[in-house]
């Protein structure tokens, strides 16, 4: 890692983070620590969602290697200082991974990521300072800070390992985990619990687990560029069950485009990756549809049910558009944003319907103690 460029990027992220921090301070003047931290968590949550969506745009626009080093761009804090290197790379490969626009897309993604990191650092420090007046332990904010550092490492490995598919997929899942951590903390600050029967919560937990698996499969499709391995719907390349190479497609420890044995990834492997995501989507759609119906029947949770149904329909539409329309950028980006929105909605649902902790019941005194 280039320490000098990292220091300059960190200073730039601090300057950018002063904007949302100043907004929170001005809007929450005179309010208690809980209200200020709730506002800070809300804006950090919003920016994290934007970061996930922009990260998808970075991947979908093939800008992941727009700056082939980390954390800077050819050792500089912005593409402006790396003009000569970017021009030379683009002149050698005009359609290659390094172009002027791709470099800016990649660096804007890094600026946003480091800004979110600064906000989470401030949130953790403030949580420890005000821990006596907060509804939950400051270890939640500390865990979020630790996780954002892990995400930064995954971001670095994404570049240095040249878009290694397993690392890119884990980076996506890590971003969604960060989103969930912030959502839980924001819910605790709001302190607006909702009633939910235990069977409904179990259904939500099961549907959420299936959704995570489906998102991992979708990330595997995207990072291996297998979206167009199947043309047409519901058939795949005119067949209900096309030729597929499952073991090759789901060999995790391999480079982009390479098979586990060292050769190139076969087309049958790409079809297997695509079909796994398509088939499991049926299972997830049924689970989420059932959950949306059950939520709609509960008056206190009807808004969650309506939101879940709308997001599910949007996901199905954007997923079909990717296949039928040949993977347009808008549909692909909407599909990624929809997955993040589903994770956010289910996390908020589970956090707001979590059973309240009951105070510990004192032990009944023994007969000897009572007599005394």
Q: What residues are labeled active site?
A: 106
**DSSP letters along 150-199, please?**
HHHHHHHHHHHTTS-HHHHHHHHHHHHHHHHHHHHHHHHHHT------HH
- Give the DSSP letter string of 264-287: BPPHHHHHHHHHHHHHHHHHHHHH
Two tokens, residue 111: 């600026």
| 3 state DSSP class of 96 | coil
- Counts of helices then strands in the chain (DSSP H, E): 12, 0
CB proximity list for 316: less than 8 A, separation 6 or greater: 281, 285
Residue 265 per-residue DSSP state: P
> Which tokens is 253 given?
């420890």
Cβ atoms of 129 and 145 closer than 8 Å: no
Residue 264 DSSP class? B
Residues in the chain: 372
| CA 131 vs CA 123, 152, 184, 305: distances in Å | 11, 27, 17, 34
Can you name the residues that pair with 76 across neighbouring β-strands?
A: 73
Residue with tokens 């989470």: 120
Q: Angle at Cα 177 formed by Cα 174 and Cα 183, nearest 5°? A: 145
DSSP secondary-structure letter at 227? G
* Rounded CA separation 70/74 (Å): 8
């Amino acid at each position: 890692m280039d320490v000098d460029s990292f220091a300059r990027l960190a200073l730039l992220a601090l300057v950018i983070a002063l904007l949302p921090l100043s907004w929170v301070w001005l809007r929450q003047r005179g309010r208690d620590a809980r209200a200020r931290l709730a506002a800070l968590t809300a804006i950090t949550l919003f920016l994290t969602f934007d970061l996930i969506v922009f990260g998808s745009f970075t991947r979908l626009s093939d800008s992941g290697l727009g700056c082939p080093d980390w954390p800077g761009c050819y050792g500089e804090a912005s593409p402006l200082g790396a003009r000569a290197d970017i021009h030379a790379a683009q002149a050698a490969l005009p359609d290659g991974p390094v172009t002027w626009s791709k470099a800016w897309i990649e660096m804007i993604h890094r600026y946003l990521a480091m800004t979110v990191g600064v906000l989470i650092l401030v949130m953790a420090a403030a949580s420890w300072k005000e821990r006596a007046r907060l509804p939950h332990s400051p270890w939640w904010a500390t865990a979020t800070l630790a996780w954002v550092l892990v995400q930064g490492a995954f971001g670095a490995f994404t570049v240095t390992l040249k878009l290694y598919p397993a690392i890119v997929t884990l980076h996506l899942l890590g971003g969604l985990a960060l989103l969930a951590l912030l959502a839980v903390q924001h819910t605790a600050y709001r302190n607006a619990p909702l009633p939910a029967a235990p069977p409904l919560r179990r259904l939500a937990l099961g549907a959420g687990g299936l959704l995570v698996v489906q998102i991992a499969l979708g990330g595997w499709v995207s990072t291996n560029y297998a979206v167009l391995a199947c043309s047409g719907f519901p058939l795949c390349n005119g067949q209900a069950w096309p030729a597929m190479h499952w073991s090759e497609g789901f060999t995790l420890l391999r480079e982009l485009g390479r098979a586990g044995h060292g050769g190139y990834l076969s087309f049958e492997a790409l079809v297997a990756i695509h079909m796994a995501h398509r088939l499991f989507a049926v299972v997830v759609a049924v689970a989420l549809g059932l959950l949306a119906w059950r939520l709609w029947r509960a008056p206190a949770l009807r808004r969650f049910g309506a939101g879940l149904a709308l997001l599910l329909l949007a996901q199905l539409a954007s997923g079909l558009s990717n296949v039928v329309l040949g993977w347009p950028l808008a549909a692909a980006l909407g599909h990624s944003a929809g997955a993040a929105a589903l994770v956010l909605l289910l996390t908020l649902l589970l956090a707001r319907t979590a059973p309240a902790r009951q105070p510990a019941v004192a032990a009944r005194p023994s007969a000897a103690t009572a007599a005394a």
